[in-house]
C-alpha cells in the first residue's frame, strides 16, 4: 500500500466536511443563543476542523512528486475529475480557514461561512469519489465508492463534532442540549454506517471486467484481507455500541474519555476501510 | 497527421524480454520502471494448453484516458505523429495517469518526481532509425510505423485474451495472434 497520503487526505477532509455540517446544525437549532455563547462553544471545534483540513492539504501535497507544479493541477477542469476535486477542496479549506479566522477575530461565528463550507464540502466528496469511479481501476468503478466516501463524512463528522462539543456542554451543565446533540449525531452516524453497508451489499453487483493489464480480480484481493475487513466491522460495531451507550447513559464521570475513545474507534474503523479501498487499486 | 503505432506478432514472440532490456538500457531506467513490458498469458487446458507472450508499451491511443484525466494537461498528443508525450514542465507527479491507462504505460520516476513513458524513441527516429525495441527483437516480432500501413499489412486486430478491450482507449496497435 503506497497511498497513505491519500488515505490521510480523504479521511481528514471528509471528517472536516461532516463536522462543519454538524456545527452549522447546532447553531441553527440554537438560534436563541447569543453570539458570544456560540463563539465560546465553537472556538475549539473550528480550530480543530481548520487544523484537520490543513493536515489533509499537507497529506495531499506529500502525495505529489513535484509539489512546485501544484498550480497546474487545475488546468484541466473541463475533463479531469482530479482537477475539479483539487479546485473544490481548495475552496472548502479556504472557507474553513476564513471561517475560523473570522470567528477568532470578530469573536462571533458566521453561519453563512459554515453553510457555504458545508455545501462546497458535499460537492467535494462527490468529486473525490468521482476521481476513483472514473479511473480504470475496476473495484473503484462502483457505487460503493460514493457510498463509502459519504458514509465516512457522516460517521466521522458526527462523532468528531460530538466529541468536540458535548463535553463542553456537559461542563456548562447544559445536559439537555448535550443529549439532544448527541442523539442527532448518533442518528447521522448510523445513517453513515447504513450507507456503507448498502454500498458493500451492492459491491458484488457492480464488479467490472478487467480494464487494466496487470489488474487482479477484486475477490482475490479481498480474500487476502479477510481479517482486516472483519476487524473493521467489529471495531465499527464496538464504536456504535459505545456511542449508543453514551447517548442513553447518565454516567458522567468518564464521559469525555469515553467520547474520545468512540472517536478513536471510528477513526480506526474508517481508516481500515479506506486502507482496503486503496489496496483494491494497488 | 500520420498516426504512428506498433505491430506485435504474438505468434513469433518467445517472451525473451530483449525488448524490455534494450528499452531500459536506452532510457536508463532503474529497477521497476519499464516503458515496455512482456506479459505472459496462459489459456486452455490439457491437452490443449497455450502460453502467449505479449510485448506492450504505450500504444499512443486515439482516445488516451491518461490525457483525458491528467489534471495538469501535461499529457498531450504530438501533432505530427500522434505520439503521446508528457510535458515535464507541467507534470505534478500525482500518478493519476497510472490509474487511467489500460496498458500500465505511464511509469513514475522517483528521481524526477514526475511521470515518464515510451516516446517511441523520438531521438533515434529523428536520425532515421527505428525504436530500440523494434531493432533489438531477435524474432522480429515488433514493427513500428504509420498505423494505416501496419493495418494494411497485418490486419486491424488489436485485441487478445488477457489484454483489456481496445474499445476503452482505441490503441494504435495491431496484434497477430
**Average pLDDT for A211-237:** 82
Architecture label for domain B4-175: 2-Layer Sandwich (3.30)
Mean residue pLDDT across chain A: 92
Which chain B positions have a beta carbon within 8 Å of A86's beta carbon?
A: 71
- Mean pLDDT, contiguous 10-residue spans, chain B (177 residues): 94 95 96 95 87 94 96 96 96 95 95 96 95 97 97 95 91 95
Which chain A positions have a beta carbon within 8 Å of B90's beta carbon?
A: 69, 72, 75
Q: What is the pLDDT of residue A48?
A: 97
Residue-wise pLDDT for A169-200, tens only, equals 999 989 899 999 999 999 999 999 999 999 98
Residue-wise pLDDT for A193-205, tens only, equals 999 999 988 887 7
Q: Which of B32, B55, B66, B71 to mutate to test the interface with A (most CBs of A within 10 A)?
A: B71
Interface size, chain A vs chain B, as Cβ–Cβ contacts under 8 Å: 105
Which chain A positions have a beta carbon within 8 Å of B112's beta carbon?
A: 65-66
Q: What is the pLDDT of residue B64?
A: 96
Q: What is the pLDDT of residue B173?
A: 96
The dihedrals phi and psi of B143, each to the nearest 5 degrees, come to: -125, 150
Residue-wise pLDDT for B123-141, tens only, equals 999 999 999 999 999 999 9
Q: What is the pLDDT of residue A45?
A: 95
Q: A282 CB near a chain B CB, below 8 Å? A: no
Q: What is the pLDDT of residue B70?
A: 97
Residue-wise pLDDT for B3-28, tens only, equals 999 999 999 999 999 999 999 999 99
Task: Tell me whether residues B104 and A81 touch, CB distance under 8 A.
Answer: no
Q: What is the pLDDT of residue A1?
A: 66
B43 DSSP β-pair partners: B50
Task: Tell me whether residues B92 and A76 touch, CB distance under 8 A.
Answer: no
Q: What is the pLDDT of residue A167?
A: 92
B54, closest residue in chain A (CA to CA) = A213
Task: Tell me whether residues B94 and A73 touch, CB distance under 8 A.
Answer: yes
Kindly list the domain boundaries of chain B, sorted by start residue: 4-175
Which chain A positions have a beta carbon within 8 Å of B168's beta carbon?
A: 136, 211
Task: Tell me whether residues A63 and B94 touch, CB distance under 8 A.
Answer: yes
Mean residue pLDDT across chain B: 95
Reply yes or no on whether the pLDDT at A217 is more than 70. no
Categorise residue B17: left if φ over 0, alpha if ψ from -120 to 50, beta otherwise.
left
Which chain B positions have a beta carbon within 8 Å of A5's beta carbon?
A: none
Reply yes or no on whether the pLDDT at A208 is more than 70. no
Q: A227 CB near a chain B CB, below 8 Å? A: no
CB-CB: which of A65, A82, A281 is closest to B108? Answer: A65
- Rounded Cα distance between B130 and A174, Å, is 79
Kindly list the domain boundaries of chain A, sorted by start residue: 3-280
Task: Tell me whether residues A213 and B93 touch, CB distance under 8 A.
Answer: no
Instruction: Please check whether residue A124 is in contact with residue A89, taking contact to mean a CB–CB distance below 8 angstroms.
Output: yes
Q: What is the ipTM of this complex?
A: 0.89
Q: What is the pLDDT of residue A218?
A: 65
C-alpha cell at B142: 515488433
Q: Which of A9, A79, A136 to mutate to test the interface with B (most CBs of B within 10 A)?
A: A136
Q: What is the pLDDT of residue B1?
A: 81
Residue-wise pLDDT for A15-58, tens only, equals 999 999 999 999 999 988 888 999 999 999 999 999 999 999 99
CB-CB: which of B65, B68, B94 is closest to A64? Answer: B94
Residue-wise pLDDT for A97-110, tens only, equals 999 999 999 999 99
Residue-wise pLDDT for A2-14, tens only, equals 789 999 999 999 9
Rounded to 10 degrees, what is the CA torsion of B115, B119, B122, B123? 40
A130, closest residue in chain B (CA to CA) = B69
- Rounded Cα distance between A169 and B4, Å, is 69
C-alpha cell at A135: 479511473
| DSSP H or E stretch at residue A42 | helix A35-63
- Rounded Cα distance between A106 and A108, Å, is 5
Q: A63 CB near a chain B CB, below 8 Å? A: yes
Q: What is the pLDDT of residue A62?
A: 94
Q: What is the pLDDT of residue A216?
A: 67
> CA of A99, closest CA in chain B: separation in Å?
28
> CA of B97, closest CA in chain A: separation in Å?
9
Architecture label for domain A3-280: Up-down Bundle (1.20)
Amino acid at each position: 500500500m503506497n497511498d497513505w497520503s491519500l488515505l490521510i487526505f480523504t479521511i481528514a477532509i471528509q471528517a472536516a466536511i461532516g463536522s462543519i455540517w454538524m456545527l452549522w446544525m447546532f447553531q441553527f437549532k440554537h438560534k436563541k443563543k447569543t453570539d458570544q455563547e456560540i463563539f465560546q462553544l465553537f472556538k475549539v471545534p473550528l480550530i480543530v476542523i481548520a487544523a484537520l483540513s490543513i493536515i489533509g492539504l499537507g497529506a495531499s501535497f506529500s502525495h505529489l512528486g513535484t509539489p512546485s507544479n501544484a498550480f497546474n493541477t487545475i488546468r484541466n477542469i473541463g475533463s479531469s475529475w482530479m482537477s475539479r476535486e483539487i479546485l473544490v477542496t481548495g475552496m472548502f479549506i479556504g472557507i474553513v480557514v476564513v471561517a475560523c479566522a473570522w470567528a477568532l477575530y470578530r469573536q462571533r461565528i458566521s453561519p453563512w461561512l459554515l453553510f457555504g463550507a458545508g455545501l462546497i464540502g458535499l460537492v467535494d466528496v462527490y468529486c473525490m469519489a468521482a476521481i476513483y469511479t472514473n479511473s480504470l481501476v475496476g473495484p473503484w468503478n462502483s457505487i460503493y465508492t460514493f457510498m463509502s466516501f459519504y458514509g465516512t463524512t457522516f460517521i466521522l463528522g458526527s462523532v468528531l463534532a460530538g466529541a468536540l462539543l458535548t463535553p463542553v456542554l456537559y461542563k456548562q451543565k447544559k445536559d439537555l442540549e448535550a443529549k439532544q446533540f448527541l442523539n442527532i449525531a448518533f442518528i447521522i452516524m448510523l445513517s453513515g454506517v447504513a450507507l456503507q453497508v448498502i454500498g458493500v451489499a451492492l459491491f458484488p453487483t457492480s464488479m467490472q471486467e478487467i480494464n487494466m493489464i496487470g489488474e487482479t480480480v477484486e475477490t482475490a484481493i479481498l480474500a487476502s484481507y479477510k481479517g482486516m475487513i472483519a476487524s473493521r466491522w467489529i471495531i465499527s460495531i464496538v464504536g456504535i455500541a459505545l456511542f449508543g451507550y453514551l447517548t442513553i447513559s447518565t454516567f458522567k464521570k468518564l464521559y469525555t474519555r469515553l467520547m474520545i475513545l468512540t472517536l478513536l474507534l471510528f477513526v480506526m474503523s474508517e481508516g481500515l476501510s479506506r486502507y482496503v479501498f486503496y489496496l483494491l487499486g494497488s | 497527421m500520420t498516426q504512428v503505432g506498433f505491430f506485435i506478432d504474438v505468434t513469433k514472440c518467445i517472451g525473451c524480454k530483449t525488448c524490455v532490456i534494450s528499452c531500459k538500457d536506452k532510457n536508463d531506467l532503474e529497477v521497476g520502471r519499464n516503458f515496455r513490458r512482456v506479459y505472459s498469458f496462459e489459456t486452455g487446458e490439457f491437452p490443449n494448453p497455450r502460453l502467449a507472450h505479449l510485448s506492450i508499451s504505450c500504444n499512443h491511443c486515439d482516445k488516451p484516458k491518461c490525457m483525458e484525466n491528467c489534471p495538469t494537461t501535461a499529457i498531450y498528443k504530438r501533432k505530427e505523429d500522434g505520439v503521446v508525450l508528457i510535458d515535464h514542465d507541467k507534470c505534478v507527479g500525482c500518478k493519476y495517469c497510472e490509474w487511467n491507462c489500460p496498458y500500465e504505460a505511464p511509469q513514475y520516476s522517483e528521481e524526477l518526481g514526475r511521470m515518464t513513458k515510451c516516446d517511441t524513441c523520438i531521438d533515434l527516429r529523428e536520425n532515421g532509425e527505428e525504436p530500440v525495441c523494434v531493432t533489438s527483437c531477435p524474432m522480429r516480432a515488433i514493427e513500428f510505423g504509420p498505423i494505416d500501413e501496419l493495418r494494411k499489412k497485418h490486419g486491424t486486430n488489436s485485441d487478445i485474451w488477457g489484454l483489456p478491450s481496445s474499445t476503452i482507449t482505441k490503441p494504435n496497435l495491431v496484434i497477430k495472434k
